[in-house]
Structure 1
Amino acid sequence: MTYAADRLYEEVAYVAYHFHWDLDQILDLEHGVRHQFIDQIGSINERISAGE
């Protein structure tokens, strides 16, 4: 199964925006690890939005 390029760009942009990592650092992450970071960023954003 191939991973859609649009989805990959979206994930890279999300991590880069929040962590200021460069493209190579993000692309070097395994798919599962990248998703763990995405989940954590989402959780952090939710807590900030909730005022915690």
Structure 2
Amino acid sequence: MERLHKEVAYIAYHFHWSHEYILALEHPERLRWVAEIADINKRFNEQV
């Protein structure tokens, strides 16, 4: 359950999607968005 909360918080923080919308995503799709956000952050931090 803690992992789910972290996934939801991570996506909501970066994309400002609603809690309900994020929870409605299938777990693999949620993980895909987490990976995409991590990749965006990595590329951004490499440019700074």
Q: TM-score, normalised by structure 2?
A: 0.96
| In 2, Cα distance between equivalents of 1:10 and 1:36 | 14
Q: Which runs of structure 2 are paired with 1:1-52 in the superposition (5 Å)?
A: 5-51=1-47
> By percentage of residues, which structure has more helix?
2
Q: Map Cα deviations across residues 1-52 of structure 1 (whole Å, 9 max, x no partner).
A: xxxx111000000000000001000000000000000000000000000007
Q: How many residues align?
A: 48
Q: RMSD of the alignment, in Å?
A: 1.1
Q: Where do 5+ consecutive residues of structure 1 fail to align?
A: none
| In 1, Cα distance between equivalents of 2:10 and 2:25 | 14
| In 2, Cα distance between equivalents of 1:37 and 1:12 | 10
Larger RCO, structures 1/2 (Cα 8 Å, 6+ apart): 2
**Between the two proteins, what is the percent identity of the paired residues?**
46
Q: Where do 5+ consecutive residues of structure 2 fail to align?
A: none
